[in-house]
Amino acid sequence: MLERKTRKNRAEVTFVLPADTPPGPVSVVGDFNGWQPGVHTLQPRRDGLRAVTVGLPLKSAHAFRYLAAGDYWFDDEAADAHDGVNGRVHT
């Protein structure tokens, strides 16, 4: 699931997953962080989900995927679009 907030000069996109599916640590990786695992690791929230917020330029589009423990890559069905194996988020 994606949550968005528009700030004065950027968009804040929050990537949200269930707390235990998949189990273990999960990172969101994409063109906004050089596809580097561990830069944006989802953290537990009080509502029982886990999430991480990334600041992105307004009126832009970005490719992303999730990476879980055990080199398990997966997509977000709630992405704005998909281009092959990657999800796309539009700000």
- Taking 90 as the threshold, does the pLDDT of residue 84 lie above it? no
Which pLDDT belongs to residue 64? 98
Average pLDDT of the chain is: 95
Angstrom CA distances, 47 to 18, 25, 27, 62, 90, stand at 10, 18, 19, 27, 25
Domain tally for the chain? 1
Instruction: Please state the rounded mean pLDDT for residues 64-89.
Output: 94
Which pLDDT belongs to residue 85? 87
Domain extent at residue 9? 2-90
Q: Residue 88: pLDDT band by 50, 70, 90 thresholds?
A: very high
The CATH number of residue 33's host domain is 2.60.40.10
Cβ atoms of residues 75 and 82 within 8 Å: yes
